[in-house]
Structure formats: C-alpha cells, structure tokens
Structure 1
C-alpha cells in the first residue's frame, strides 16, 4: 500500500509539473518558456507510460558458471533476462536476492537497458563462505530519467549452492604400518607390498601380468602368480572438535583434506562428528562415502555446547578404535584422560592442533603437550600453510 501511494505521488508530481510548465508558458510567453514546456512533455509522457508498464512478466534464467565452489574461492553466475516487448527502459538495476549467509556480498548492477528484449548480466562473489547458500531470485528496479517514477519486481528463481571446504592436496603416509609377521596384526588390509614375494600360486583371471612368475612358467609351462605379503595398517578413526573456536574454519578444511587423502590413497577410516547433530560413518573407503563426509563438513557448524571430553566418554563408536586422529584447536587434560578411558584398545593417537601462523605456545600449553607425550599421544601444531605436509611431519617423529 505504501509503495502504491509512493508511485501515485510521483505521477501526481509529474502532472503538476506539466500543468505548471503550461501555465508558465501561457502567461510568460516567449521562446524559452514554451521550449521548457515542450521539453517537459516527452519526459512526463514517458514517466506516465512507465507507471502503467508491467515488469512482473519478465523471465529470468540463471546459469551457474562455477561448477564446484570451495571455501574462500570465487563464485560466478550469469543472469539472462527476457521480455516480450521493446518498451524503452532507462535506468535498470539488477540485484540477486540471496540468503542471509551471503548478505555481506554485493550482487547488484545498474545498466541502461534501452529497447533490447534480452539482457545478460554476469556477477561474481569473491571469497565466498563455506556452507549451503540459496539464491532466491532477481530483483529488478527501473526508473525514469529523474527518478519521478520507479518500479520494482521480484522474479523468483531459487537455486541452492554448496560451498565445500577448501581442500588441500596431501602427501598421505599411513601413520602406523605393520606386517603379518610383526607383533601386531591390524584388522584392515590396505594394500599388498609387491616388493616382498613370499611364494607362488596358480594363476587366476584378474591377476596382474606383472605378478606372473615367468621363471616358473618357463619350467612348467603353467602360469603361476607371485604371492605377496599383505601389508596391514590400522583403521584410522577421525574425530573433529566442534566446540566454538576462531580456528574452526581451518579445522574443517584440515578434516576434509585428511579424509580426501585417506580415500584417494585407497585406505580406510571411520569418521565421527558430534555437535547439535551427530554423524558417525563407520567406513569411509570410496568416493560416495567421502562425498557424504564432505557434504556434512560443508554445512557443519561449531555448535557443540558441552566439552567434547564429556561427550565422547559415553560414545560407543570410539571404544574399539586402535588408531585415532583428533583435530582440534584447544587440547585439554580432561580430553586426554577421557580418550584413554573410552578407547581402551588405543595404540596410536595423533592430535592435530590448528593454530594461527607465528603464534607461540604458552608455558601452560607446553606443559600440557608434555603431559600428552607422557601418555603416548602425539601432538602436532599445524598451521594452514603446512596442511599439505601434515602426514609427513607426523611420520618424522
């Protein structure tokens, strides 16, 4: 109602201006006064016609230019606007209406549309935030030359976009590897060590040509395949701290990069994330399971309201783990004691503590890390710049 009154007010001002110019020309006379009157006529007529012109039937199509968007990256989309007539539009403003998570970005553009039926507009969002965002539609605003009459229409065109965590390519090295003849045999087989042949067996379809024992074939004319020792590595259990922290976004990026590195190197892990919602995936081994983890990390928030040591104390999924990777920015004595009580079979525990660059440890933090080392927990301070070498640094210690 207020918008209608405002638009009607603009038309009344135009009519008043036109009448005033006519009266002035009639009483004043002369070339200048009549020139002003004739100058006001086309501007006034256009403004009145614009008042009655409908822009709600304009069609809007959106094309996403960026196939996959990552946190901190660039998002690009092209808006194509179509109409059925060639009514001249002067100052036209386009705005992509977005969800509240993207309100800090600018997606506006002002153009002189003219008499064209179609118009394309490409916009970009730099340094887009991680999460699930929604593009709701396009707001189109048009006005006459002096802003006497303006119109606005919202063309709905909903589209959800996912901004994944920023993934870092890692050099993955299993944290702990043992052989069958060793003291401990893990439950999960990750690969065969082709440098250690332990015998030969009858060839089976699907065996690699490089595994064929050619010397045996030369003697017996029967295809034999080398048998290799199964190298076993303990199944990793990845746990992420979701307590509020200024380093939470970097923690999400590190967690996603670790999970991708494990899967891409044909290894296996379990994943646990606890906050307002709990996600436990007992086996992350293929791309489909990895995508499920990444989808969760895309939307996850630092919403754990209790200390994590209280939550994991009663979590049965951790009880049987033997090799744990814990990603946090704030380690505590309580967590160290809690994880050792919960995971009684734990043999390998690695904590990645995410910190800002050039931040020095306090005396209390040094003592805490010494306490963790006395409990056979490996502590690694890591910054975003060193994510790619995370596993290399673990295996150096």
Structure 2
C-alpha cells in the first residue's frame, strides 16, 4: 500500500506540473515539469535497481571460543549485475540483545557510489559464556534526497558457542585413599619397566614386549613380566546451581563456580581420570563418569549454557546421586554455600568411605567465624577445602588446601 501511495503521489505531481506548464507556459513552468520527470525517473530507478543484485557473506573468526576471548566478525557485501549508484548504504548485523553491549559497531554507514565491494568488520570482545545466534544482515539504501528508502534483508543464522573460561592447572593434589587398588588405569600406551613386580609363565595372547627374556633364558621357558597395577581417580563433580545459593550475589559468582568446574575437569581429563558431572537446575542433568574425551566434550557443552536456575536443594542432589557412584569415587563439591547441614553430609559420606573435596566459591566476600568453624570441622574429617576468590588465583588455590583451626 505504501508503494502504491508513493506512485500515486508521483503521478499527481507529474500531472500537476504538466498542467501548470500547459496553462502557464514559458521556460520556468516547463522546467518544473521536466525536473519532476527526471526526479521521478531517478526515484523509480532507485526503488527498482538499488541493491537488486547485492549479496553478502558473514565470516566469523570461530564458531567455538572460550569466555573472555574476542569474536571477530567480517561481512563482505558484493553488488553484481546492473549497477545503480548508491549515495549511501547502511549495513547492520543483527545481534542477540546480550551481545549488543559487547559490540563496538555492528552498524555502519558507507558511501559506496559505484563501488562493487564493501566490508563491515567489527569485534565482540570479552565474550560471555553461552550460546548465541547471530541473525540477519540488513542493507538499507536510498536516494540523495531522502525521499526513497530500500531495504534488503539477507536471512542467515550463525550459532556461536562460548565455552567456560579454562584456567590451566598444572598440579592438583588430590589422592583418594579409598580408591587404592580398586580401579586400574586405562589408556596406558606403554608398560613402565620400573614397575615390574615379578614374572609368570607365558600365556597365549601376551605381547612380545612383555616377555622377560633373561628369565626365559635362565629357566628355559618363556616368562612374562608382571606389572604393578596402577590406580586412578574416579571423580564426580557436583555444581551447585540452586538459585537461592547465588541470590543477592552478582552473576560473576556463578561464573566463577562454572570456571572452577571447567578448569578442574580439564585437568582431570588430561590425567585420564574418569570424570562425570551432576548439575541440578531447572533440568536435572547427570553425566556418568567416563574417561572418553567425548564425555569431557559433552560436559563442556553443558557448562556452556548452564545457569543458576535450580529449585532443588544442593544436599538433596548429592544424596540422590552418590548411591550410583563407582566404589572409590571422589566427589568434588563446588558451591558458594558452606553450612552445618553440608558439613554433616560430608561427614556422613566420609563414614561411607566416599572421599569429598570442597571448593568454596566466595568471590570477594571475606570469611567469617562461622566459615572458619565449618572449615576446621572439615579439616578434622580429612576433607580438603579450597577457597576460591578469583579465577586468576585458581592455579595457586589447587596447589594445596588451606588449614583452618576449628572454633568448636
């Protein structure tokens, strides 16, 4: 309807100037008519041919990055076929609301004229964790008088996954005394001759590398090396996603908790530990323990979108899942809440020979006497307590737990 109304107005203008030229006559009257004709042709050409054969392509520096990194966006516009001069062109990339504050300039004004190629480049620094969909690209142009505007929308969707920030952890002192002798190490690429504890008769299927040639020559029959059994940790991470636990605190406190879990998982996975995750939020997610790298990727994918939106009690989630853990497993508790019920629960788990390690997420908050008392009780139970204030200090935190004297 707007287009029809615009055409009707131009027809009225042309008819009026033509009638005026016929009635008035003279150079000025007819000049107005011919000027109106030229202007109408220009406006019609702009409406019809501007951006008619325009194409655009969006290139992203990566579709998968870690939180805190920068996403580079490059949009290339190419105008093919019939060329119509563009006095101005606005290029706008559609971003999710959460990323609008990250963008320096996802909207830019160009004066292309007869240029066939244009480019819009912008950056999204310090990307927050999550999954984001970058939407359509809008091209808007018009005439030099501002009478006509033409918009072209190139529909597209690019999904960008921002994984949690991972702090390199070269060392984490975690030993489960309940696990010794229960779980054999997996994915061992070669035997360590320093761990030979004896020899036995050769059995069909033994590898040649395991034959003890000196013992075989001495006894006259093939002997096979017996190696010491290696043990490893089976770890289940419990992330506190209770909405009440983070109420009153900033979103950075939960981000610190997620960063802590992701960093510890990365370290444990690199050590070939069996890892799993329990994450009770709006949906209950439990990822079973495994050493497969695909399992680690599955956990990281979940941590990319996880939010503090749970209604379940953290202690209830722990009790519900520990019964399904492998014998000798270590549970790693990551929580911003340390209270008496949690201390009692950890004591109950220790009684059942389930080792626990606690990462207490405090952010910038100072520890009070109640915190120190709870930590002292956990220390008497033999539970390692790590106080996490800042992600940049995480590497130093896991080098060894801090000792706290109990006040009660």
TM-score range normalised by the length of the shorter chain: 0.7 to 0.9
Q: Deviations over 1:305-361 (max 9, x none)?
A: 23312333334436966421111222222222234446752442111122335x431
Determine if contact 1:170/1:390 at 8 Å carries over to the other structure.
no
Gaps of 5+ in 2: none
SS of 2:366 mapped into structure 1: coil
**Residue deviations 1:30-63, cap 9 Å, x none?**
9xxx999999997775444323346476433322
Structure 1 residue 390, shift from structure 2 partner: 4.5
Match of 1:304 among 288, 310, 319: 310
Change in 2 beyond 3 A, CA 1:377/1:342: closer
Q: Deviations over 1:351-378 (max 9, x none)?
A: 1122335x43122322232233344332
For residues 1-397 of structure 1, what are the structure 2 equivalents within 5 Å? 4=2, 8=6, 46-53=42-49, 55=51, 58-66=54-62, 68-82=64-78, 83-106=80-103, 107-173=106-172, 175-176=174-175, 185-190=180-185, 195-201=194-200, 202=202, 213=212, 215-216=214-215, 226-244=225-243, 245=246, 246=250, 247-315=253-321, 316-317=323-324, 322-341=329-348, 345-356=352-363, 359-382=365-388, 383-394=390-401
Q: Hey, what's the Cα distance between the residues in 2 that align with 1:328 and 1:80?
A: 46
Distance in 2 (alpha carbons) for counterparts of 1:332 and 1:110: 57
Are the structure 2 counterparts of residues 64 and 373 from structure 1 closer, same or farther at C-alpha, using a change threshold of 3 Å? same
RMSD (CA atoms): 4.2
Distance in structure 2 (CA, Å) of the matches to 1:5 and 1:157: 27
Structure-2 separation of matches of 1:80 and 1:7: 35
The CA distance in 1 between the partners of 2:48 and 2:96, in whole Å, is 31
Q: Tell me the SS of whatever aligns to 1:232.
A: coil
8 Å Cα contact 2:76-2:118 kept in structure 1: yes
Distance 1:322 1:268, change over 3 A: closer
Distance 1:120 1:48 in 2: 27
- Cα deviation, residue 208, structure 1: 8.9
Checking the alignment, whether the CA contact within 8 Å between 1:236 and 1:269 is kept in structure 2 is yes
1:226–1:81 distance in 2 versus 1, CA, 3 Å: same
Per mean C-alpha deviation after superposition, the further-off stretch among 161-170 and 114-123 is 114-123
Partner Cα distance (2:293, 2:308) in 1:
25
Per mean C-alpha deviation after superposition, the further-off stretch among 100-109 and 297-306 is 100-109
Q: Do the aligned residues in 2 keep the contact of 1:7 with 1:51 (CA within 8 Å)?
A: no
Structure 1 runs not aligned, ≥5 long = none
Tell me the SS of whatever aligns to 1:311. Answer: helix
What's the TM-score, normalizing by structure 2?
A: 0.77
Q: Flag the 1:362–1:173 CA change in 2: closer, same or farther, 3 A.
A: closer
Q: Distance in 2 between matches of 1:136 and 1:177?
A: 49
Per-residue Cα deviation, 1:122-164 (whole angstroms, up to 9, x for no partner): 3321111111111121011113335332222321111211111
Specify whether residues 103 and 318 from structure 1 end up closer, same or farther in structure 2 by C-alpha distance, changes over 3 A only.
Answer: farther
Give the conservation status (yes or no) of the 8 Å contact 2:235–2:330. yes
Deviations 1:192-221 (A, max 9, x none): 775432113549888596x76564467579
TM-score, with normalisation over the residues of structure 1? Answer: 0.79
Aligned length: 382
